[in-house]
Each structure stands twice: as C-alpha cells, then as structure tokens.
Amino acid sequence: MQLRMTNQREIILRELINSQRHLTADELYDIVKKIMPRISLATVYRNLEILSGAKIIGKLEISGRQKRFDYNPSEHDHIYCVVCHRVDNLEMAHKGLSTEEFGAVVGYAVTGYRLEIVGVCPECQRMKDNKEK
Amino acid sequence: MQLRMTNQREIILRELINSQRHLTADELYDIVKKIMPRISLATVYRNLEILSGAKIIGKLEISGRQKRFDYNPSEHDHIYCVVCHRVDNLEMAHKGLSTEEFGAVVGYAVTGYRLEIVGVCPECQRMKDNKEK
DNA sequence: CTCCGTGCAAACGATTTGCACTATG
DNA sequence: CATAGTGCAAATCGTTTGCACGGAG
C-alpha cells in the first residue's frame, strides 16, 4: 500500500506546518475547512494518523484527553501549559538543564514534569522470543 | 465537603493497592464487581477521581487513551510497555541513570521516552497577573 | 437528620468505521 | 483501471452527569 498525495492531504500537512503549533484534529479541521469547505473531520483524522505513521509529523499522546499533532517529526521534548493546555517544543540543544531552567528558557513557570520511559516489558520480550523460534 | 469512607470506596482503594498495578477504571471495575456485584462503573470513576484529588492515589494521564490509576501517590516516574500497555513504577533512588540503564533495572528493552515539563506559559502568567491587580 | 455517595441510564466528547463514490498514479 | 482516499452518517469507546434513593457521620 503506497501513499498518494491528495489535495486534502497536502493542505492538512501544509496548514499544520504553517501553524507552528501542536494542533488537535478538530483545531486543524477548522483551519482546513476554510480552504476546502467540503472536507470531513474523518479525513483529517485519517490523514493525521497516516502522516504520523509515516513519521512525516509527530503524534503527542500526552497531557490530557485530545491527541495533538506535531509539525516537527524529529525527537524532542515538550512543555505543557496547565492553564490553556498549549504545548510548546523544547530544543534538545539545552539538554543538561534542570526542568526549571528548561522552563525558564521558554518563559514557563514550571510546576513539575512527567517522564515516561517507553519500551518492551520482560514478559513481552519473552513472548516475542518464543514467536521467533 | 468532607470524605466519607463508604464500603465501595474502601474496596476500590484496597483492590487498587492489592493489585500493585496501574489499572484503568474498567479493569478495576471488573475486579471490584466480583466482590460487590451491584457496584456501578460510574462509582468507580467517581471514587478514583476523588481519591486522586485527595492525593491518596495517583493519576496517570500519559501513554494512550485510557487513564490509569497508581496505587502509589508519591512522585515517581513510569515505564510503559508498547506491546501490552502495562505501566510500571520507576524508583527515584536510581536517579542519574540513563533511560537505558533505568529500563535495564526493571528488565525493559527501552526504545525511547516521553518527557513533558508542566507549568504555566508566559501568556497565562500575564493573564493571572492582571487578574490579581 | 444532613448531605455525601450510590446505581442507573442517558449524555457526552473524541475518534473510528462501513459504505458507496471519487480520483490518484 | 486498480485501489487508496474521500464524505457522510452511524457506531464505538472512555468518561461524565442528572436524578431519585440510600447510608455514613
């Protein structure tokens, strides 16, 4: 199955990048609808899923209910506002700073952080090994 | 408004702690239903919300669609299995280790991490200042 | 007795899916 | 011209809420 560059996919991608923000599917839908009024929300969802699967954009599954999509697909950390729920990027260039210093760089008043290491647990490694035999 | 220790609240809390796992509301509901068959899922949701608000348990809003609740209310990091979606605790005692070393301690094969710093963004700080004047 | 907590069902918000149609490569 | 993608509506999933009743303090 190969990717086709449809009109709607192109506009969705372009508007996400132009926004320079971490939009939810429906925020992006509102923007794209102004350009292509007959587009459906389902199309936006489908394309965001496909584009993040292809590593063309990033997907954020953190900080609350709605997924947000990141115009920048490369690895980097995020900073989240508990009041308005916006998410900003943190450049890896500042690695080694404390969370407070990290926040200060982008003007945030830091109250905490969430760290989740991701991987495969011992049980699932074992199951995988068994399958490969 | 003060907290009452009802039968259902007691069982919900006890079973979450006994499990020593990070359960979703419906996983915990399945467990509790065996002990108290007429309990409703809404009661489980309400109590988990109240107990985490009172810092008696922790709430995890990361790693995917469903919230998970943590029997351990104190600050600590988590490690997430991409295959079975379980979440384990990481003890702060190991601070200073790399993410890979962190994973090795608990037997995980680490593939990455998610870091989100939490705070108040510059705009929201300004709004707050204005309100206080 | 007060009023917090409960069970039930219905409502809700975000996301996904089945279907017939369209259009890319 | 094959088949990936679309628009629409309905379905689904996790969670919340309104309401009348029940029980803890």
Q: What is the pLDDT along chain B (133 residues), one digit of tens a residue?
A: 678 999 999 999 999 999 999 999 999 999 999 999 999 999 999 999 999 999 999 999 876 779 999 999 998 899 999 888 889 999 866 667 788 888 888 999 999 888 889 999 999 999 866 665 4
A35-84: pLDDT as tens digits: 999 999 999 999 999 999 999 999 998 766 789 999 999 988 999 998 88
Instruction: Assess whether A4 (CB) lies less than 7 A from strand C.
Output: yes
Alpha helices (runs of H) in chain B, residue ranges in sequence order: 7-19, 25-35, 41-53, 99-105, 122-132
Strand D nucleotides where any atom sits below 7 Å of a protein CB: 3-10, 13-18, 23-25
Domains of chain B: 1-73 (1.10.10.10), 75-133 (3.30.1490.190)
Does the beta-carbon distance from B119 to A64 stay under 8 Å? no
Would the CA dihedral through A105, A106, A110, A116 be positive or negative? Answer: negative
- Name which of A7, A3, A22 is nearest A72 in CA terms: A22
Rounded to two decimals, the pTM is: 0.88
- What's phi and psi for B85, nearest 5 deg? 70, 15
Q: How far apart are CA B71 and CA B52, in angstroms?
A: 10
| Largest separation between any pair of C-alpha atoms in chain A | 54
Q: How many CB atoms lie within 10 A of CB B85?
A: 16
- Name which of B110, B61, B103, B58 is nearest B82 in CA terms: B110
Does the beta-carbon distance from A77 to B116 stay under 8 Å? yes
